[in-house]
Amino acid sequence: MIYLDHAATTPMRPEAREAMEPYLDDVFGNPSGVHGVSQRAKNALEEAREKAAELLGAARPLEIVFTGGGTEADNLAVAGTTLAAGGTGRIVTSAIEHQAVLESARFCGRLGHPVIEVGVDALGLVDVDEVVGSVDRDTAVVSVMAANNETGVLEPIWKIADGLRGAGHETPLHTDAVQAFASEPVTVSSTGADLISLAAHKFGGPKGVGLLYVRDGIEIEPILHGGGQELGRRSGTHNVAGVVGMVAAMEAASADREAFRARVGAARDRFEADLSATFDDLEINAPIGSRLVQHSHLRFPGVEADTLLVLLDRAGVAAAAGSACHSGAVQPSHVLDAMGMSPRVASECARFTFGWIDTATTGAIAAAQVADVVAGLR
């Protein structure tokens, strides 16, 4: 199997698996306890928090809130800040956000908070001035992703942060950096964001664990209630093994980032070059100079993506169309719709995403396999 769906999930890095091992067996305690077994787990949790804070450039370890994944981190960032602000403050976001952001915003909308979804251009880029211009003194939160999970387009998040501050707004800025972290230098200073969401399984950690960076001073209302863990911001018994594995993967991904960009970028570029040489009508649905190195979002005119993906799977190539977060439901892509694509054109688009295990050879082999299937369909 040639696996080209790393945007959905990527294999665990060996560093993460090794780091998790003790916490799956010997160090099994609940870190909320007071005895020695629990305290050993607690120490591991807090060491992981310190490392995560350092990797993100946070001012304090307690600015890191551990969550059950990127979806929960997005919900906590959007709904948590909005509910904490009280009143009927608006939410400003973009039309191409992950559904975890959009549905959280719409939930708050049903509670009386106006929601503004700023559009994008044909390349999927938001307009900085439109985002900043949509903010007023009562805005509760602005949420714009660092990189799109479908097309890989990099959004100008730092420029948005600079624009907000330049306009005198103190509105919290959240960025969903779930897709970006594997290949982009996601830090507090590089994004300018007040809240940053990550999900471990996108960069070589385990599934079911993530984090939300919350700048000191930003108030968030918890969306999970119970034991009051994470300073009351996120209740629930900690997944110690998962947290330790996530932070080990963060360290490995950070250390490997430049090599990742070269190695995986070469795989993606070879893949697209070979397919472009075979099909002169191939369309690449992203600005070449402003997208993640691991993403290739392509359109083969006249070829339905659903059929293409089924036949690719039979041929030993795993790829995707749209987001992988809809529980298997077949839905039109809201991202491609926001970019102005007609339903017919959007139905001919597929997403091929590479990961830390890939090299240029992967790109060449994958291109040959995809070309054979597309040629057969045509």
Distance (Å, whole) CA 225 – CA 236:
8
Distance (Å, whole) CA 127 – CA 19:
42
| The one catalytic residue among 59, 255, 310, 325 | 325
Cβ-based neighbour number of residue 33 at 10 Å: 12
- Reading the block at residue 17, the tokens are 């698996």
Distance (Å, whole) CA 366 – CA 343:
27
Distance (Å, whole) CA 309 – CA 207:
24
Distance (Å, whole) CA 25 – CA 287:
47
Q: Is 312 helix (H, G, I), strand (E, B) or coil?
A: helix
Q: Which helix (H) or strand (E) holds 251?
A: helix 240-278
Hey, CA dihedral for 277, 283, 288, 292, is it positive or negative? negative
The position carrying tokens 């472009």 is: 276
> Is 325 known to be catalytic?
yes
Active site residues: 325
